[in-house]
Copies of this chain bind each other. A is one copy, B any other.
Amino acid sequence: MTIRVAVNGYGTIGKRVADAVALQPDMKLVGVAKTRPSFEAGRAAAKGFKLYLSGGGALEPFHTAGIPIAGRIEDLVREVDVVVDAAPEKVGRENAKLYKEAGIRAIFQGGEKPDVAEVSFNALANYEAARGKHTVRVVSCNTTGLSRAASVLTSRWPIEYWQATIVRRAADPAESNRGPINGILPTFQLPSHHGPDVRTIFPQLPIATLAVVVPTTLMHVHVNHVQFTTPPRDAAEMLAGFRGTPRFRIFAPWEGVDGTPQVMEFARDRGVGHQDMMENVLWENGVRLDGQNAYFFQAIHQESIVVPENIDAIRAMFDLAPDAAHSIAITDRTLGIPAP
C-alpha cells in the first residue's frame, strides 16, 4: 500500500517534509503547493516535484518565472490520501476546512492550537495515539525536543519536577527581516506555553518552562533541571538512556563541539537533509547528576526536528507499521539519521 501525500506550504518545514516523503518506500509525494515563486519553488521544479498553487497564490508570477504549475491546491487534495499542512501559523486552521471537504486526512504543525486535530503527536512518546486518526498535529520543534527527552526520562525514572529554560533562536537562517540584532528578549508568558504543550503529549508531566529570545539563527537550546523521585544511578546511566534511544546524538568532548555553531557544522559535514540535525543534541559533559537532581543541555534544530515526526505520523494514521519502533526505524534509515 502506497499512501499518496501532498504538502501544502513549501517553506522551512514543508520543503523538508516533501523531500522526506519522497524518500519513503510506502509513500508517494503527489505534489506540493506554494503561493509565490522563489528559488525554493525553482528547486522543487528541478527535483521533479509537481507544484500547485496554494491559497491566495496567482499563476502569473509562476509563468514569468518559468515554473510549471500543475493546478490549484483544490485539485491536489483530490489526488491524495493525506495532506501535510506546513502553511504559516494559523493558516493551517483555515485550510482544515478544505481538507475536510475533500475527505482527506491531514497533518498540522505545532503552530496551530491543539484542537486543530484529534491528537497531538510525537513518535517516541505517543505513536499509538495517532493510529487510524484522520487529523494529527505534530507538535512544534521545542515541544518535540522536550517530548523526546520526556520519553527517555519518564519511562525510566519518575520525575518530581522539571524546570526548563528555552533559549530560542530569533529567526531562521534565511529570514533576513527579523531581529533583534543585539539583545535578549524575555518571553512575557510565565510559565511559557511550551510546558502545557508538552502536556498535550504527557498529560501528567510536572514541567514548567520559561523562554527568552536571543540573536542567533541556528538552533534553540534547552537548559534543563530535573528533580527525580527515583533518580538514575549516575550520569552515565542517564546518558545511556539517551544514547539507546533513536533521534538522540550525544557529542563527546573530543569532538570539539562547544555549542550550536559546531553542531550545525557537523550537520553540514554529514549532509543529512538540508544540512539538518533531526536529533536532539546532547553533550556528554552537558549532563550532570547530583543526588535527586539532574542538569542537562539539549540543542534543538528548529528547521528539521519535526520532519521525521511528520513521516511517522502518516505511518501511524494509515497503520503502515506494526509499532513506533518499526516506523521510526524506516524513517530514520531513509532520511539518514543513524540508529542508536
Residues of A within 8 A of B (CB): 15, 36-40, 42-43, 61, 64-65, 163, 165, 167, 169-171, 173-186, 188, 190-191, 208, 210, 212-219, 221, 223, 225, 251-252, 254-262, 264-266, 268-271, 274-275, 283, 285-288, 290, 293, 295-297, 299
Contact = CB atoms under 8 A, between A and B. Distances in A.
Contacts of A175: 179-180, 261
A295 B164 CA distance: 12
A246 to B, nearest CB: 19
Nearest to A15: B269
A173 B209 CA distance: 29
A283 B186 contact: yes
B256 A181 contact: no
A185 B257 contact: no
The 9 A-B residue pairs whose C-beta atoms are closest, nearest first, are A185-B259, A174-B265, A190-B288, A183-B261, A165-B165, A176-B180, A190-B295, A39-B255, A214-B214
30 contacts: A15-B269, A36-B256, A39-B256, A39-B262, A65-B254, A167-B214, A173-B265, A173-B268, A174-B262, A174-B264, A174-B265, A175-B180, A176-B261, A177-B178, A177-B179, A179-B179, A182-B218, A182-B261, A185-B258, A186-B223, A188-B286, A190-B290, A190-B296, A210-B223, A210-B225, A214-B214, A215-B215, A268-B274, A268-B275, A274-B275
Contacts of A251: 39
A173 B264 contact: yes
B181 A262 contact: no
Contacts of A173: 182, 261, 264-265, 268
B259 A176 contact: yes
Q: Give the number of copies in the complex.
A: 4
A230 to B, nearest CB: 18
Nearest to A253: B188
Choose among A251, A257, A259 the residue with the greatest number of B CB atoms under 10 Å from its CB: A259
A137 B214 CA distance: 32
A187 to B, nearest CB: 9
Given A37-B255, A167-B184, A176-B183, 17 more contacts: A65-B254, A167-B214, A173-B261, A176-B179, A176-B258, A176-B262, A182-B216, A182-B218, A183-B264, A184-B216, A184-B219, A184-B260, A186-B286, A208-B295, A212-B221, A212-B297, A275-B275
A255 B38 contact: yes
Contact of A188 (B178, B266, B285): B285
